[in-house]
Structure 1
Amino acid sequence: MIRKITLGLAILSLSTSCVSKKIYQDLENKFADLKKERNALADENEGLKTNNSTLQTDLNKYKTEAEKLKAERDKLAADYAATKKSLDNLKSSYDALEKDSNEALDANIKKNRELLAELEAKQKAMAAEQDKLNKLKADLLKSSTRLAELEKIMADKEAAMKKLKETLSKSLKAFEGKGLTVTERDGKVYVSMENKLLFESGSWTVGTEGKKAVDLVGKVLGDNPDISVLIEGHTDNDKIVGSIGGGVENNWDLSTKRATAIVTILSANAKVKKENLTAAGRGEFAPLLSNETAEGKAKNRRIEFILTPKLDELSKLLNEL
């Protein structure tokens, strides 16, 4: 537009060189105004271009956000539909349960009453069992205490018998190798004296050396009044022939007389309790070795002192267990 006006003015200027100065000046002024207008329009056009670019960017951004919001909306719609479906199912289930609730409630109440009655019965049974258990625990504790006492007494007895064996061995040391032995087994002490130390063949009279050994045993027994002593007489299997001394009928009789002779010597010690002594004859029926040899027969002819601790206290505790 401005170009056309400018061109027209130029042609007019060339063709009308005779135009007045005032008209020319007006045309110049109009041209200047048009030029200013053109520049203003150009600036405005640039501003519009910039605004258009910004608006296009914002439009793209809003389109992206709109698509995102649409996707979220679609997801929410799907979730809503699924939730509504679940809710409808729950309502249906609830309606069905509500319909049967009265009958089910009555049945449950009845069943609960039965269970409560059964529970009370079981609680009573458990209480009774607990009482039994408490009694058993008390009895067990009492028995455990007695058992501990019993074990201590047994240990003390064992220690006492061991000490007794050591005392006898020390007291009878002079008779070692003369047919005398001291052993301990099964909680008892055994003092064995062969007949060669005590008696002549076929006799029940104790010789001088043998009496010394028996007196030493009596001295130890006097210092241990709680020891029971069984004196056993033993013989070989040789038969009694003829008359011996006051006369004996057989080996059993001879072994008993020899045991009684030992008891008589022990009883002479005032400190030895007579009630702790027992004499017994075993004859030939408890041999140590075979009677087929002279050595075996010599070992079988013997007196055995079997020393046992009194077990009255142990028996009482055992009866209480």
Structure 2
Amino acid sequence: MKIKTICTIPAFLVLLFAASCVPATKYKSVKETGKMYLNERDELKTENLTLSMDKRELEAKVEKLDAETRELSGMLKQVTDERDRLRADYNKMQSKLSELQSAQEDLIRGNVSETKRLLSELQAAQENLQKKEDLLRQLEQNLDVKKASLDELSFELEKRNARMAELEQILNAQKKIVQDLKAKVSEALLGFENMGLTVSVRDGKVYVSLDEKLLFKSASWEIDANGRNALRKLAAVLERNPDIQITIEGHTDNVPYNPSGGQLKDNWDLSVKRATTVVRVLLEGTRIDPKRLTAAGRSQYLPVDSRNTADARQKNRRTEIILTPDLSALYNILNRY
């Protein structure tokens, strides 16, 4: 599998947003682009879930191979014991055959009926001995097959264990990267956590959630000084971690947006506009590669609180900055198998 490259909104949108009057069709294009990047983000989330399912499947297969190995080991011991028993029987038959041959020589000059009886016993003993030899040979062949099968299963088990260990190592490294990133972001934004900012980890990603009151006035997309200060501190952390992909999502409440003759039509436009405004502030005066950023508007359709109350609507009016670590090492391992 391959990681899809997350690109920023084309440069000409910047010019469009800077213009005093912009056609509505251009904003429709922006919304469609945001939706496309949102789908890509959801696809990454699905791939992460697939990886977890793949890990559980591998663990189940390893457990099954362990059980099969124990069963073959038990069967191998049974076959070995049977072979030893047949060898003991074979030795007894050889001894008895020697005795009969000796008795035959002693009685060769005796009566004919006794000689015939002894010859009959000797022939029966030889036939029985041949059957034992054939059975012993077959058991030894089966034993060789079982040993080969056991060796093959052991080799396969070692390969799977090695793959599991490698996957576990990469997953642990990814978790550490996410936790370290969360710690750096939390430290940089420490003074803002009581002002409507939270930092959390979900689905292997770091989520920085900023309430509307920290960034924007109601129905506005202009970021105030306090919000710009928080975003600049975050940008400094992102600038020092170039392998992190950045998605900015704008969210609104379910109250219809009143454009009052402005350039925005509804909550879709407002959420996209707020996301792109945050993108510009993060890029302002930094060396962050614009290719790392994606802006998306979610309108009112991804609330954190679905109740129809003022408190719930206040929680839903937010901007989320989603930080995704580089998963290319993990994908490379999966592609090798």
Q: Is 2:247 aligned against 1:207?
A: no
CA-atom RMSD, angstroms?
2.9
**Alignment check: 8 A CA contact 2:264 2:270 kept:** no
CA gap 1:234/1:173 in 2 versus in 1, 3 angstroms: same
- 1:165 corresponding residue in structure 2: 182
Q: How far 1:220 moved relative to its partner? A: 0.7
- 1:111 corresponding residue in structure 2: 131
Aligned residue among 135, 156, 160 for 2:155: 135
Measured in 2, the distance between the counterparts of 1:120 and 1:170 equals: 69
Measured in 2, the distance between the counterparts of 1:218 and 1:100 equals: 101
Q: Return the index of the structure with the highest Cα Rg.
A: 1
- Counterpart AA for 1:234: H
- 1:257 corresponding residue in structure 2: 273
**Alignment check: 8 A CA contact 1:263 1:277 kept:** yes
TM-score, normalization: structure 2? 0.58
CA gap 1:123/1:175 in 2 versus in 1, 3 angstroms: closer
Counting aligned pairs with the same residue, the percent is 40
- 1:305 corresponding residue in structure 2: 321
- 2:239 corresponding residue in structure 1: 222
Q: How far 1:152 moved relative to its partner? A: 3.2
The 4+ residue runs of structure 1 with deviation greater than 4 A are 94-97
Q: How far 1:313 moved relative to its partner? A: 1.0
CA gap 1:123/1:227 in 2 versus in 1, 3 angstroms: same
CA gap 1:242/1:254 in 2 versus in 1, 3 angstroms: closer
TM-score, normalization: structure 1? 0.61
**Alignment check: 8 A CA contact 2:200 2:206 kept:** yes
CA gap 1:280/1:195 in 2 versus in 1, 3 angstroms: same
Q: How far 1:243 moved relative to its partner? A: 4.3
Aligned residue among 150, 158, 172 for 1:155: 172
Three-state SS of the structure 2 residue aligned to 1:310 is: coil
CA gap 1:312/1:269 in 2 versus in 1, 3 angstroms: farther
Q: Is 2:185 aligned against 1:175?
A: no
Q: How far 1:265 moved relative to its partner? A: 1.9
Structure of greater relative contact order (alpha carbons < 8 Å, 6+ residues apart): 2
**Alignment check: 8 A CA contact 2:212 2:318 kept:** yes
**Alignment check: 8 A CA contact 1:198 1:207 kept:** yes
CA gap 1:121/1:318 in 2 versus in 1, 3 angstroms: same
The count of residues paired between Structure 1 and Structure 2 equals 225
Q: How far 1:131 moved relative to its partner? A: 4.7
- 1:50 corresponding residue in structure 2: none
